[in-house]
């Protein structure tokens, strides 16, 4: 007999550092391999990014053609007020607008950080890319 698992919503929000409505709520659990998005174990077979789980627990399922984007540009953030649904194209446009991704890189799985790692032989803790003002919406 399997022990009764806690509902996902309970497990999930217990690992989110919930703060004020206009602050970022960062995922405190594990991160994905490339390091920035929170990684949530949904069930024995499924892992999902934390911001997506936050959206779905708050608003319901994400349509297949859409993705959950961050207004705050903070990948581990799970504050539903900072998340919005966009198409993959919106997300790319958003990334480019925020200077996270340079032109021509859209389809490359390699990040700037990966290239730095190759060049330096280690991954820098933080790569100063470019300061952009936070989008106020
Ligand atoms: Zn945020």
Q: Is the pTM of this model over 0.85?
A: no
> Domain spanning 8-103 has what CATH number?
3.90.75
Q: Residue 67 — φ and ψ, nearest 5°?
A: -130, 160
Residue 129's pLDDT is what?
47
Cα of 77 vs centre of ligand 1, distance in Å, is: 5
Structure tokens at 33: 């391999």
Residue ranges of domains in the chain = 8-103
Which comes out higher in pLDDT, residue 127 or 132?
132
d(CA 135, CA 126) in angstroms, rounded, equals 21
Cα of 127 vs centre of ligand 1, distance in Å, is: 19
Cα of 94 vs centre of ligand 1, distance in Å, is: 15
Cα of 4 vs centre of ligand 1, distance in Å, is: 32
Q: What is the mean pLDDT of residues 68-85?
A: 95
pLDDT in tens, 100-116: 655 544 444 566 666 65
Q: Answer whether residue 13 shows pLDDT above 90.
A: yes
Question: What element of type H or E holds 40?
Answer: strand 39-41
User: Any idea what the Cα angle at residue 40 is, between residues 94 and 78, rounded to 5°?
Assistant: 45
């Amino acid at each position: 007999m399997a022990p009764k698992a806690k509902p996902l919503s309970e497990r999930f929000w217990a690992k989110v550092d919930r703060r004020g409505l206009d602050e970022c709520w960062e995922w405190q659990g594990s991160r994905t391999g490339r390091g920035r998005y929170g990684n949530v174990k949904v069930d024995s077979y499924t892992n999902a990014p934390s911001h997506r789980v936050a959206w779905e627990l708050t608003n319901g399922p994400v349509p297949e053609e859409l993705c959950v984007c961050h207004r705050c540009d903070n990948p581990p953030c799970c504050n539903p007020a900072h998340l919005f649904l966009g198409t993959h194209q919106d997300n790319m446009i958003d990334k480019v607008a925020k200077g996270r991704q340079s032109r021509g890189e859209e389809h490359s799985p390699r990040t700037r950080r990966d290239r730095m790692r190759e060049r330096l032989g280690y991954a820098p803790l933080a790569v100063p890319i470019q300061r952009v003002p936070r989008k106020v919406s």
